[in-house]
Structures are given as structure tokens and as C-alpha cells.
């Protein structure tokens, strides 16, 4: 259930939320992430371990759209109706003591990170970017399109037992003509989303359990100093104890919903007062949420370590994305 943080105003209707209200739509998926609620009621997502772009139909049937290689991590519909994928290049995998799956380290055949385009009609895969801002992409993670048809994406980087990459926030055009590094020096940037007015880009940092709010001043441009010691940007969190943040989605009223690892579920941040609450999901590695349906109150949640896709009714509507198919 959603528990209000100390000092939070708290929506009373959310306090009654329970795991029982989750509907299991599909299982047997190989570390699903990046769900996109489609207009026909299906959900498109990536399976990182399987290395595919996959469609889950309303009745739970699963079909592969495209073989992507590497490690497809996030997906979004672009202005041309194609699916754009952030590919992290792949992981090694471990089976946890409870039998669930988790990524760990860099595989021997790691090819580097990339941004891919998938034609939904033919399944054709095109690689758009493998570098940007003077560096090779290491671990592209999540992306979101703005109203102009460009997209913001995070590069979390790669990590092993000895070292971890510094992460970056990028902006790119879907025709392959432009990619810029908008912000560097981030610590494991993961989820990314836009505020309802399009003036703020939210970026969740996995390891710090913080969500940064950067003011957008132009395509691929954010305001304020690049100095992390300068308090010029909005910050939500950090969360107490050991909690890690993954991908995010934004509600129509501006709340930021971030998938949360360790304390498996969705953390809902209210940017107006900094309060937050938690919606539990029965998977310690809950990684993504997206919104869809006629009233935008159908929430689709990926429970990655157990290979499941859940659906549940959300207390408020999610923000409608700029493009769908």
C-alpha cells in the first residue's frame, strides 16, 4: 500500500492500495523493461536478456517484433510511428538466491551502447547513434520525446566490481542528424521524463535515489550551472534507507512516479512539496511504469526479476505522451 512520508499531504484514496489490486498480464518475460501502452490496448516493451522488442497483447499473448542484440533497455514511440530504443549493450546475468534474475557486470561480447529505430510494420532495425558529445555511448537507458519530436535520453554507463562510469543526459533527433550531451557528471542516470508544461526534464539517479529537475531552455539545452555543488536545480529525494531508483513516468498533474528497486514498487514524488509515497509491487526489482487507456489511468508496471508485466488502476491519470501508434 502507499504510505505517506512524514509531512506528506497524502491522497486518502491511495492508502487503500494493495498488491491484490495488481493484475498479472504476462509472465515468462526475460527481464522486461521500457513498457509503452499502445492505442490498440497492447503493450510494447523490451526484454533485456532476450534482446528483443516484444508486444504483449491485451489477452497476455506475447510476440517478438524485432531482435535487437546487446541489451535493449528503454522504448518510446517517435513522431514517425516507429519505436526508438535505448540499447545498453548487454549485461552478464546472475540468478539470485530466491531464483529471480538480475543483471551484473559487463559481458565479454559487449559491443557498446546505441540508439536504435524499429519499424513496427517490418521489424527492420536501424542503428542511429553509437556516440555523442565526443564519447562513445556506454549504457543508454531510458528516453522520452518532446513536442518538437526530439528526444532526451540517459546514458547510465557500465559498472563492474572495480569501476563505474560517470553518466550523462543527452538530446537527439530521430533522423540521426543531431545528438548533444546536455548534462554530464551524473551518478547512474536512469529514468527520464518531462513535466506537463515541457519546461522541466526529470532524471532519476539509481544509486543516489534522487530525482533531478533540470529547466529546459531549448532543444538539448538546460539552464543553470553544470557545477554539482551549485544548488540551481530541483531535487526530489533522496529516499531513506537502501532504495534504488529506476525508470519513471509523469502524472498529468506533474507528480513523478519512479520505479524503485530493493523496496520494490513505485515511489510517487510530489514536486510541489517534496513529499513522496510508495506503491508496493511483489518484485524487489521493479523497473518501469507507463500509463495508458482511455482515461490514462491504466498503469503498466514491469516486475523485471520475476519476468512479469502487471496492470492496475491508478488513482490519477498519467501524462499523455506526445506520440503513440
Which 3 state secondary structure label does DSSP give 160?
coil
Q: Is 148 exposed, middle or buried (0-12, 13-18, 19+ CB in 10 A)?
A: exposed
What DSSP state is assigned to residue 278?
Answer: E
pTM: 0.93
Q: pLDDT for 188-226, tens place per residue?
A: 999 999 999 999 999 999 999 999 999 999 999 999 766
- 72-80 mean pLDDT: 98
Q: Give me the pLDDT at residue 82, please.
A: 98
Q: Where are the beta strands (DSSP E) in 96-194?
A: 101-104, 114-118, 125-129, 131-132, 135-136, 140-145, 151-155, 167-172, 179-186, 189-194
Q: Give me the pLDDT at residue 2, please.
A: 34
For residue 56, pLDDT beyond 90: yes
203 bridge partner residues: 192, 212
Q: Give me the pLDDT at residue 209, please.
A: 98
Q: pLDDT for 283-322, tens place per residue?
A: 999 999 999 999 999 999 999 999 999 999 999 999 999 9
Give the Cα separation of 44 and 309 in Å (integer).
Answer: 11
From first CA to last CA, the distance across the chain in angstroms is 33
Amino acid at each position: 500500500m502507499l504510505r505517506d512520508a512524514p509531512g506528506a499531504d497524502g491522497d486518502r484514496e491511495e492508502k487503500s492500495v494493495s498488491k491484490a489490486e495488481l493484475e498479472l498480464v504476462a509472465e515468462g518475460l526475460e527481464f522486461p523493461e521500457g513498457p509503452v501502452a499502445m492505442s490498440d490496448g497492447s503493450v510494447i516493451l523490451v526484454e533485456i536478456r532476450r534482446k528483443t522488442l516484444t508486444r504483449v497483447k491485451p489477452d497476455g499473448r506475447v510476440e517478438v517484433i524485432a531482435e535487437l542484440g546487446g541489451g535493449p533497455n528503454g522504448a518510446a514511440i517517435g513522431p514517425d510511428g516507429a519505436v526508438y530504443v535505448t540499447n545498453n549493450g548487454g549485461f552478464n546475468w546472475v540468478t539470485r538466491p530466491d531464483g529471480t534474475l538480475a543483471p551484473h557486470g559487463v559481458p565479454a561480447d559487449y559491443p557498446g551502447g546505441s540508439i536504435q529505430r524499429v519499424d513496427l510494420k517490418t521489424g527492420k532495425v536501424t542503428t542511429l547513434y553509437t556516440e555523442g558529445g565526443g564519447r562513445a555511448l556506454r549504457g543508454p537507458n531510458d528516453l522520452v520525446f518532446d513536442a518538437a519530436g526530439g528526444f532526451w535520453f540517459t546514458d547510465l554507463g557500465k559498472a563492474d566490481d572495480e569501476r563505474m562510469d560517470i553518466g550523462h543526459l543527452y538530446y537527439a533527433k530521430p533522423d540521426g542528424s543531431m545528438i548533444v550531451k546536455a548534462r554530464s557528471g551524473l551518478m547512474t542516470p536512469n529514468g527520464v521524463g518531462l513535466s506537463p508544461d515541457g519546461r522541466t526534464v526529470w532524471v532519476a539517479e539509481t544509486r543516489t535515489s534522487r530525482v533531478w529537475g533540470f529547466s529546459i531552455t531549448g532543444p538539448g539545452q538546460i539552464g543553470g550551472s553544470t557545477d554539482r555543488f551549485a544548488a540551481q536545480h530541483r531535487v526530489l529525494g533522496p529516499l531513506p534507507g537502501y532504495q534504488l531508483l529506476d525508470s519513471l513516468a509523469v502524472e498529468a498533474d506533474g507528480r513523478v512516479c519512479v520505479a524503485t528497486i530493493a523496496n520494490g514498487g513505485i515511489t510517487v514524488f510530489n514536486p510541489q512539496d517534496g513529499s513522496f509515497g510508495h506503491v508496493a509491487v511483489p518484485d524487489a526489482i521493479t523497473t518501469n511504469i507507463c500509463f495508458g487507456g482511455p482515461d490514462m489511468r491504466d498503469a503498466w508496471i514491469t516486475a523485471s526479476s520475476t519476468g512479469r508485466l502487471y496492470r492496475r488502476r491508478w488513482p490519477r491519470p498519467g501524462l499523455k505522451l506526445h506520440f503513440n501508434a
